[in-house]
């Protein structure tokens, strides 16, 4: 891998007039911004539907599309929605993602659009669904769920979906895929590659579990025997009780981990590389009794290890796989990462939690890693420099060659230091490039409300000096 740099920003954060970022002209404008700055990668969060807390890490389908990312002006140009519908969908509240409004209005708008699809386009949709069977399955699951009053699948009684609702979801999968692939083509032509995100686990109430019950640790009533999470760590003294059903790895092994391979292949169709969340769960995973009230009740259980890694490597070929190797990393996890040859992650905000040998300190970065100022789960870099003690802040800034008190300048010194590090790839969240504070944080783990809402304006994006970042990337040989 050649030395490169990039920006972490979810599609939901893009500027735009329709309640959330989308695959429209604003996405192309952001690609232009990246190219002008000398960046090479755009990293996003998962593309699947979000849960009741608006998190993309728990979804009704690990393959299915987030319908809110479909660009409405594109539908208008195709004659699938009218000018009144387009105007009515414009942003009304302060500039954050309008999730409540989207939940109440957007699917009805998309259903109306699906009713106006031409016969020729319907044939294209059918051909698309034949090629991408998991997306057809996701559509049927979502239509059946609605037919059953949006109850979880293990409480369903109705076995046939409404035909209009089914076609709406099929149309959504097709339109989402088609629009995004146009963005991907545009980005690649501009020299920008795209990184997606694969959550390690899926939701119990999902197409994945409904269609592949045998691949999960379920009891005779189709309820989880044990659920996923992590033990107490940097983020939570009680650990995190995620609640996702755990995989039946022995059953998955029988067909060569076909479901996982299909998932990786699908994501590598949408992206040029992917980050696999919670990589350490492949070596050992934290298994929590389903009736536990805290993640503290869990225990480590051996995962599939090298057998699954071999299959993922075979599927990915020479395409980028990033292993999210943060958290409780044992020698066994480190050994599996080394075996995989996947680049792991380094996070500057963890650099001063340990001693001078910390792998998160820029001078200790290995070449085969992806270095971040912070992830979507961290405070922004500016907020981080506010939260540490004055003595710690002076030590951090001094390490980066800055001896002043201006936190914004200190943050810029941190980014410049990281670009000069040995890491093959350095990625900055867009909030850190803007040097914004805690009000723009994307997610606080363990907190149910107020996450995933941050949006960027075009004026804010234009306030960033493209020449400065291009010079930094040139000086650090990342162009």
Give the 3-state secondary structure of the chain: CCCEEEEECCHHHCCCCCCCCCCCHHHHHHHHHHHHHCCCEEECCCCCCCCCCCCCCCCCCCCCCCHHHCCHHHHHHCCCCCHHHHHHCCCCCCCCCCHHHHHHHHHHHHHHHHHCCCHHHHHHHHHHHHHCHHHHHHHHHHHHHHHCCCCCHHHCCCCCCCHHHHHHHHHHHHHHHHHHHHHHHHHHHCCCEEEEEECCCCCCCCHHHHHCHHHECECCCCCECEEEEECCCCCCCCCEEEEEECECHHHHHHCCCHHHHHHHHHHHHHCCEEEECCHHHHCEEEEEECCCCCHHHCEEEECCCHHHHHHHHHHHCCCEEEECCCCCCCHHHHHHHHHHCCCEEEEHHHCCCCCCCCCCCHHHCCCCEEEECCCCCCCCHHHHHHHCCHHHHHHHHHHCCCCCCCHHHHHHHHHHHHHCCCCCEEEEEHHHHHCCCHHHCCCCCCCCCCCCCCCCCHHHHHCCCHHHHHHHHHHCCCC
pLDDT 10s digits, 87-121: 999 999 888 999 999 999 999 999 999 999 999 99
Contacts of 303 (CB under 8 A, 6+ apart): 249, 281, 282, 283, 284, 285
CA distance 266 to 298: 32
Report the candidate in 334, 246, 333, 221 with the shortest Cα–Cα distance to residue 298: 246
pLDDT 10s digits, 381-424: 999 999 999 999 999 999 999 999 999 999 999 999 999 999 99
For residues 448 and 393, the answer to whether their CB atoms sit within 8 Å is no
| Long-range contact pairs involving 153-159 (C-beta distance under 8 Å, separation at least 24) | 153/205, 153/209, 153/210, 154/205, 154/221, 154/222, 154/223
pLDDT 10s digits, 193-204: 999 999 999 999
Tokens of 170: 């099929």
For residues 371 and 365, the answer to whether their CB atoms sit within 8 Å is yes
- pLDDT at residue 355, as a whole number: 87
pLDDT 10s digits, 17-40: 999 999 999 999 999 999 999 999
277 is catalytic: yes
- For residue 266, pLDDT over 70 is answered with yes
- pLDDT at residue 221, as a whole number: 95
- Catalytic one of 324, 325, 424, 432: 324
- Catalytic one of 208, 277, 283, 325: 277
237 is catalytic: no
Q: pTM here?
A: 0.96
Report the candidate in 352, 355, 412 with the shortest Cα–Cα distance to residue 382: 412
- pLDDT at residue 232, as a whole number: 86
Average pLDDT, the chain: 96
- pLDDT at residue 1, as a whole number: 57
CA distance 361 to 122: 54
- For residue 234, pLDDT over 80 is answered with no
462 is catalytic: no
Q: What is the dihedral of CA 450, 452, 456, 461, to 10 degrees?
A: 130
- Any idea which residue has 């001693």 for tokens? 355
Tokens of 82: 């009218």
Averaged pLDDT for residues 59-67: 96
Report the candidate in 47, 85, 94, 54 with the shortest Cα–Cα distance to residue 69: 47
- pLDDT at residue 319, as a whole number: 97
Contacts of 388 (CB under 8 A, 6+ apart): 352, 396
Q: Which residues of 244-281 are buried (b: 16+ CB within 10 A; e: fewer)?
A: bbbbbbeebeeeebebbbebbebbbebbbbbbbbbbbb
pLDDT 10s digits, 343-362: 999 999 999 998 899 999 99
Contacts of 228 (CB under 8 A, 6+ apart): 200, 201, 242, 243, 244, 245, 246, 281, 285, 286, 287, 288
pLDDT 10s digits, 435-455: 999 999 999 987 888 999 999
Roughly how many angstroms between the first and final C-alpha of the chain, as a whole number? 13
- For residue 235, pLDDT over 70 is answered with no
- Catalytic one of 36, 182, 310, 377: 377
């Amino acid at each position: 891998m050649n030395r490169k740099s990039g920006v972490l920003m979810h599609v939901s954060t893009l500027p735009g007039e329709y309640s959330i970022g989308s695959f429209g002209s604003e996405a192309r404008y952001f690609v232009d911004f990246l190219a002008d700055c000398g960046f090479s990668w755009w990293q996003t969060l998962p593309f699947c539907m979000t849960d009741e807390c608006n998190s993309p890490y728990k979804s009704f389908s690990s393959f299915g599309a987030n319908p809110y990312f479909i660009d409405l002006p594109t539908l208008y140009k195709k004659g699938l929605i009218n000018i009144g519908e387009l105007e009515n969908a414009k942003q009304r509240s302060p500039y954050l993602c309008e999730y409540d409004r989207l939940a109440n209005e957007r699917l009805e708008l998309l259903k109306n659009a699906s009713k106006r699809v031409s016969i020729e386009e319907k044939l294209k949709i059918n051909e698309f669904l034949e090629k991408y069977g998991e997306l057809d399955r996701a559509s049927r699951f979502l239509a059946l769920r609605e037919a059953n009053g949006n109850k979880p699948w293990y409480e369903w009684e109705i076995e046939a979906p409404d035909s209009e609702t089914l076609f709406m979801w099929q149309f959504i999968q097709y339109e989402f895929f088609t629009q995004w692939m146009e963005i991907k083509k545009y980005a690649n032509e501009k020299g920008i590659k795209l990184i997606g995100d694969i959550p390690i686990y899926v939701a119990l109430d999902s197409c994945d579990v409904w269609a592949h019950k045998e691949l999960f640790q379920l009891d005779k009533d189709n309820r989880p025997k044990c659920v996923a999470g992590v033990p107490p760590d940097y983020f939570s003294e009680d650990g995190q009780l995620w609640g996702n059903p755990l995989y039946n790895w022995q059953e998955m092994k029988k067909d060569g981990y076909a479901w996982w391979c299909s998932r990786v292949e699908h994501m590598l169709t949408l992206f040029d590389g992917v980050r696999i969340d919670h990589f350490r769960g492949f070596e050992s995973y934290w298994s929590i009794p389903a009736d536990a009230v805290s993640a503290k009740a869990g225990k480590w259980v051996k995962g599939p290890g090298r057998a699954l890694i071999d299959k993922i490597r075979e599927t990915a070929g020479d395409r980028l796989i990033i292993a999210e190797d943060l958290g409780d990393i044992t020698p066994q996890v480190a050994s599996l990462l080394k075996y995989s040859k996947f680049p792991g992650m380094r996070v500057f905000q963890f650099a001063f939690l340990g001693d001078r040998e910390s792998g998160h300190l820029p001078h200790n970065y290995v070449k085969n890693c992806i270095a971040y100022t912070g992830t979507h789960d961290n405070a922004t870099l500016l907020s981080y420099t506010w939260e540490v003690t004055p003595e710690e802040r002076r030590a951090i800034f001094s390490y980066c060659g800055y001896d002043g008190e201006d936190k914004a300048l200190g943050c810029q010194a941190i980014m410049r230091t990281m670009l000069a590090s040995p890491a093959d790839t350095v990625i900055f969240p867009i909030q850190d490039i803007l040097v914004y504070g805690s009000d723009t944080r994307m997610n606080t783990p363990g907190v149910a409300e107020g996450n995933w809402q941050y949006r960027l304006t075009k004026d804010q994006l234009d306030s960033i000096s493209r020449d400065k970042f291009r010079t930094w990337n040139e000086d650090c040989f990342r162009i």
